[in-house]
Amino acid sequence: MASTTSDMQSTHPGSTGPTSAATWLALSGRPIDDALLEWPPDLFALTDVILGHTQVYRFVFSPPGDVTWPPGRVANWAEAVAQAGRDWSSWVGSRGRAVPDLVAQEWAAFREHAQMPLEHLAEGRSWRMCEALLTLHAIADEACAGLGVPLGRSNETGFVYRARGRELLARTGSLARIHPHLVRVLPKVRTSPKGTSLGSFSRYACVHRPGAEVRWSKIPARHRGTNFQADYANVLLLPWPLRVRESDFHPVEGSVCRLATEPFGYFEFAPAERLDLDLVDRTVMAARDEVGGIDVVVFPESAVDEGDIDDLEAVLDHHGVTMLMTGVRQPMPQSGRLPGNWVHIGVSPELEKRSVATGSNRQRWFHVRQNKHHRWSLNESQIFQYHLGGALHPHILWWEAMDVARRTVQFVELGEELTLVCLVCEDLAQRDDVADVVRSVGPTLVFTPLLDGPQLTSRWAARYASVLADDPGSAVATLSAYGMVQRCRPAGQPSSSVVGLWKDPVRGIREVPLEAGAHGVVLTICGDRALRRTADSRPPIGDSIHYFDVAVHQIHAAPTSLESRSWQPDAPLPPALDIEDLTILTGWAQAVAEALACAPDQVLVLLAEARPDRGWRAALKIAEPSAHLGEAVKIMDDVVRKSIAPPVAPTLEAVIAAMAKDSPGETILARLVRGVLRSTLEQRRARQTRESDR
């Protein structure tokens, strides 16, 4: 470090304090050298960190002295930055020529001033350094486009680079090669239409310091086909239990402490009645009769015992439902550990909505678990409000008996159109590392299951939902148990039937009641194109998506099931791939779809890079594919090759047509690979159709 200080003083006599070089070395353990040019997310992390330390981004709005922004020496700066990002993406995958000129020029200027004290940079003493920092940040951001969620108008090159980046994200929870415990780079999904903070200066990537762990899963579940109906989803809200008894709340034996001063204890929510699978069956049947088909079934916090998950998914499988989101409760363990509380996200391995079950060999669904991080506490006023004084003494502060898991946020990308995050109850209201990550990434939808009172616009959940709807522009849905909503009767106030809330930046806020005698509510949501904006003078671009509500239907369960069934099916077969392998396979399938649409002659080259033992994984320090994933990649390669009619290169339409043909006797893994590839190809074709109609 002494030599660094000496170099700094020789370049900037009389200066002291940290420099860009010293700051980056202390944070990442790496020097500022040309190795950063090998991977755009690494350079994005560097520029974002220095911008955060110096607030140089403020000069975009008020440049120092008589200079202007964007720099006039770069003709058409915004287009030049976008083109440099595309060229850089292509260069990373091939390295066959020199790094793009604009990247090289700005990098040379940045390196020349890397020993400048951050304080001098913050004061704008070297405008050339400020220009280089802001321009490199913008170029690196553009080069991160499509690394997470694929975009409609893909760069005609760079497929290999983007596929590798998606695999790196699946393995490490970061797009950067730097260890995520030091700094983490993540895809950005939604951008705020307003704001002057550093987060407003990027639209494809964001940076986080150590804190919450991040997992990014890709599950290509969507409607079949390429028409506009693929952008709709019917969501069945089941606000159960429909009745919550006072006796469903129990103090944990021997948990009360500090009786003389500030007494507190632990309580457990343990409903006596198990989930009524026959009622689920009849309610889904009625919902299908109303809207034609159900894509997603949703339950509130702690609505389902963990032992009922497989049977519940068997019921939904019979009705062709694609996805389940439910709060899960766990019985109090005998070992003395506290039980878990989490959201279970289950996705059918069929990866599409169907009208009926497709066969007898049912597979286990793909599962993602989002733990709750913040315990619920019941104080005196809440105990009176929920009329629980007979079970929980009102002069004791009661904390939920819940294991507090490590802070982790699960992003689930569904069919490229929707990126989902679940925050359980209090987690929506807390400002912690998880909340910071969620706001920076800007998921398409935030779902919050609760065990709470009515979801009125005047209550706390609506206030925090409005924050996320305003910035970054996510849609937010909440759902509470009708039984708990009915228990919430503050003195002098009537009970309410509002069990859910939907808030989005397009149509605003909607309260969702459950009418008397109804068992559920179908909420239909629709997706449409949305703009990505940045504050650094790049123009908006319409390659994002937002969802808004379009219809609500009250659902009364069918009086009887049309079939006599026992909801104790045989144990399902294990999934052909685990969720991480499915994510990696999907990332490569997305790259195949991009290549088929833009450069079909490169598809086989791309697929060769997906195979094991190619060398690049060792360079990125990630694991080689498992045996099952390696076999899945080989199957995908075979499917694409069989669609080729030499000497003509494969086309998007030809491979889609090949996916539509029946393959009797195929293995479970082969069927999954075909489903993944079909979904990603149809998604790409649908985007092409929409863009050609503009």
Asked if residue 389 lies in contact with residue 416, where contact means CB atoms within 8 angstroms, the answer is no
Mean pLDDT across the chain: 90
Task: Pick the closest to residue 438 from 462, 478, 474 (CA basis).
Answer: 474
Q: Which residue has the higher pLDDT, 647 or 30?
A: 30
**Rounded average pLDDT over 232-247:** 96
Contacts of 541 (CB under 8 A, 6+ apart): 203, 531, 532
- Enumerate the CATH 3.60.110.10 domain ranges in the chain, comma separated: 232-555
What pLDDT score does 563 carry? Answer: 60
Number of residues that this document lists for the chain: 694
Asked if residue 594 lies in contact with residue 684, where contact means CB atoms within 8 angstroms, the answer is yes
Span of 129-138, 262-271, 421-430, 554-563 with lowest mean pLDDT: 554-563
Strand-by-strand arrangement of the 377-378 sheet: 249-251, 264-269, 397-400, 377-378
What percentage of residues in the chain have a pLDDT greater than 90? Answer: 74
* DSSP secondary structure string for all residues of 629-669: HHHHHHHHHHHHHHT--TTSPP-HHHHHHHHHS--TT--HH
Task: Pick the closest to residue 467 from 509, 500, 408 (CA basis).
Answer: 509
pLDDT of residue 520 exceeding 60, the answer is yes
List, for residues 539-585, the tens digit of each pLDDT value: 999 888 899 999 999 999 999 875 655 556 678 889 999 999 999 99
Q: What are phi and psi of 575, to 5 degrees?
A: -65, 150
pLDDT of residue 3 exceeding 80, the answer is no
List, for residues 126-135, the tens digit of each pLDDT value: 999 999 999 9
Q: What span, in angstroms and rounded, lies between the C-alpha atoms of 27 and 8?
A: 18
Residues paired with residue 329 on neighbouring β-strands, in sequence order: 305, 341
What pLDDT score does 5 carry? Answer: 38
Asked if residue 493 lies in contact with residue 387, where contact means CB atoms within 8 angstroms, the answer is no
pTM for this predicted structure: 0.93
The pLDDT-based confidence of 450 (bands split at 50, 70, 90) is very high
Fold of the domain spanning 232-555: Nitrilase/N-carbamoyl-D-aminoacid amidohydrolase (3.60.110)
**Rounded average pLDDT over 478-483:** 98
Task: Pick the closest to residue 533 from 524, 544, 523, 519 (CA basis).
Answer: 544
Q: What span, in angstroms and rounded, lies between the C-alpha atoms of 94 and 602?
A: 12
What pLDDT score does 195 carry? Answer: 79
Task: Pick the closest to residue 569 from 327, 330, 362, 397 (CA basis).
Answer: 362
Task: Pick the closest to residue 313 from 360, 365, 357 (CA basis).
Answer: 365
